[in-house]
Amino acid sequence: MAGAEPLVALEGVAKSFARRLLVQNRSFALSGIDITINRGEVVGILGESGSGKSTVANIITRLTGYDSGRYLFKGRDVATLTRKESFAFKSDVQIVFQDPYGSLNPRATVQSSVMESLLLHKRELGKAERIARAGQLLEEVGLNAAWGDRYPHEFSGGQRQRVAIARALAVEPELLVCDEPLSSLDVSIQAQILELFVRMIRERNLTIVFISHDVNVVRLLCDRVYVMNQGRIVEQGQARDVLSRPQNEYTARLLEAVY
Ligand SMILES: Nc1ncnc2c1ncn2[C@@H]1O[C@H](COP(=O)(O)OP(=O)(O)OP(=O)(O)O)[C@@H](O)[C@H]1O
């Protein structure tokens, strides 16, 4: 059936990093993992620090390459995309990072940060339309449209993360990759941003890869989950099943640590 292929398919994807620049001394960040993301799904990648979650996020967004295996996006091998297709990929797949301060240009107003990708990828829009769309997006993520001419340092951490989310959504991506988007925030602010994700998932029917070390966040947001340990997927399935009846010892230990 046309359009039924997964949005993302990682097939046996492996990635190693050189240790101390010695080629023969490489450590595996990922050892041959398989991940499938279907349209409309919210998929969690859960694991402790160093398990390889960010490496998965960076490969899916093409911020980093991989050593072997295949990555299919909308059924196309990303290794063979044309320049035009690579350009389209950049708007199809957006990322929200852990640290919103580091990911926003401190010298650009938040309005221009949100409009930047519109300029690149929605060239049919005139300036007034871009400004209007940036204002709508700021409102949608719970900010005031009139704050568009402010700079990132004038916002709190939670507000900056809202700007980063607005920027990622501006081009209406097919896939949003969120790499620990709550981790740099105070606990009370985490709850507010979590609420924003819950609302956006409901209203926008987004496809999301949500990277987290937090079992409760994954339980709340995700339809399916992949549990990672030491560069491998040790368990996967419906989030409600995996997180209530884990079959793997490592997953069970992660859950025990929460209670
Ligand atoms: N650029 C890099 N150079 C060398 N080693 C790296 C690099 N990036 C990641 N690694 C190593 O790969 C492994 C997986 O790292 P990764 O950041 O993907 O894990 P993670 O689960 O996202 O952890 P964290 O939550 O701490 O970011 C780790 O052993 C890490 O040290």
Closest C-alpha among 195, 228, 199, 236 to residue 212: 228
State how beta strands 224-229 and 232-238 pair: antiparallel
- Residue 8 CA to residue 73 CA, distance in Å, equals 5
Q: Which two tokens stand for residue 113?
A: 């940060």
Q: For residue 49, how far is its CA from the centre of ligand 1 (angstroms)?
A: 8
- Ligand 1 pocket check: which of 16, 17, 21 to mutate, most ligand atoms within 8 Å of Cβ? 17
Atom 13 in ligand 1: which residue has the minimum CA distance? Answer: 29
Residue 229 and residue 52 in contact, taking contact as beta carbons nearer than 8 Å: no
Atom 3 in ligand 1: which residue has the minimum CA distance? Answer: 17
Domains and CATH numbers, the chain: 8-74+175-257 (3.40.50.300)
Closest C-alpha among 14, 51, 64, 62 to residue 35: 14
- Ligand 1 pocket check: which of 26, 55, 230 to mutate, most ligand atoms within 8 Å of Cβ? 55
Q: Write out residues with Cβ below 6 Å of ligand 1.
A: 17, 27, 29, 47, 49-55
Q: For residue 182, how far is its CA from the centre of ligand 1 (angstroms)?
A: 18
pLDDT digits 0-9 by tens, 65-124: 999 999 999 999 999 999 999 999 999 999 999 987 788 999 999 999 999 888 888 888
pLDDT digits 0-9 by tens, 133-188: 999 999 999 999 999 999 999 999 999 999 999 999 999 999 999 999 999 999 98
Q: What is the ipTM of this complex?
A: 0.94
